[in-house]
Amino acid sequence: DQQVKQNSPSLSVQEGRISILNCDYTNSMFDYFLWYKKYPAEGPTFLISISSIKDKNEDGRFTVFLNKSAKHLSLHIVPSQPGDSAVYFCAASDLNTGNQFYFGTGTSLTVIP
Amino acid sequence: KAGVTQTPRYLIKTRGQQVTLSCSPISGHRSVSWYQQTPGQGLQFLFEYFSETQRNKGNFPGRFSGRQFSNSRSEMNVSTLELGDSALYLCASRTTVSLRYEQYFGPGTRLTVT
């Protein structure tokens, strides 16, 4: 049972425009969320996180938005750059019950120069 | 700091064999988790070790096992390999001394079962 879902397997965006990657979850007890970026032949690298006590967290060009009522989070990249082309995974956890993180299936972002 | 290292990077085994994968976490990180990545399935959690104890376990058969040593290095073992075990196996470590939960991943071991 996939508790974290990324329904868009791929996304293409023009350089300089906004990239919006979406993630939905089913477990209302999830209270911590992260985004990772993965290049081919490398492990995922941490991008940004958000706790359920917040609805927005920003780090440079990356902003994560959390809508708890909709069980939805999104990652905004502004402006998008060709180097952002990678697979993006969202992950979620219920920290009260342990440190197991549930990952989505990933969205492949292509930024077109 | 050196990153998470995994050995070997690539492995080819035949059905029925067993395999052991190794992971060295970032220095000072005591939590080590293992994930299986297959096309279309994302990262599936296998297990997490902390201070040589398995703290969490995912929904995988008993053929998948692991251990952690006193220096936090970890190994995972898969016995009686099946074709469906072909995947990228990722190890991740994280610190447990602060309220930070991001994991640092190694490059993975690509296992092919023929």
Question: Measured between CB atoms, does B36 come within 8 Å of chain A?
Answer: no
Q: B5 vs chain A: nearest CA distance in angstroms?
A: 10
pLDDT tens-digit series, residues B9-24: 999 999 999 999 999 9
Tell me what the mean pLDDT of segment B47-54 comes to. Answer: 93
Question: Measured between CB atoms, does B31 come within 8 Å of chain A?
Answer: yes
pLDDT for position B90: 97
Q: How far apart are CA A94 and CA A52, in angstroms?
A: 10
Say if residue B44's pLDDT is above 80. Answer: yes
Contacts of A93 in chain B (CB under 8 A): 101
Q: Measuring CA to CA, which residue among A97, A74, A108, A88 is closest to residue A27?
A: A97
Contacts of B41 in chain A (CB under 8 A): 105
Q: How far apart are CA A52 and CA A19, in angstroms?
A: 23
- B42: nearest CB among A34, A43, A104: A104
Q: How far apart are CA B25 and CA B82, in angstroms?
A: 28
pLDDT for position B1: 66
Q: How far apart are CA A91 and CA A96, in angstroms?
A: 16
The alpha carbons of chain B give a radius of gyration, in whole angstroms, of 13
Say if residue B99's pLDDT is above 80. Answer: no
Q: B81 vs chain A: nearest CA distance in angstroms?
A: 23
Contact: A99, B106; criterion CB under 8 Å? no
Say if residue B73's pLDDT is above 80. Answer: yes
Contact: B103, A95; criterion CB under 8 Å? no
Going residue by residue through chain A (113 aa), what tens digit of pLDDT does each one get?
Answer: 689 999 999 999 999 999 999 999 999 999 999 999 999 888 999 999 999 999 999 999 999 999 999 999 999 999 999 999 999 999 999 888 777 899 999 999 999 99
Show which of residues 60-89 on chain B sit within 8 Å of chain A, judged by CB atoms. Answer: none
Smallest CA–CA distance from B104 into chain A, residue: A45
Question: Measured between CB atoms, does B101 come within 8 Å of chain A?
Answer: yes
Tell me what the mean pLDDT of segment B103-114 comes to. Answer: 96
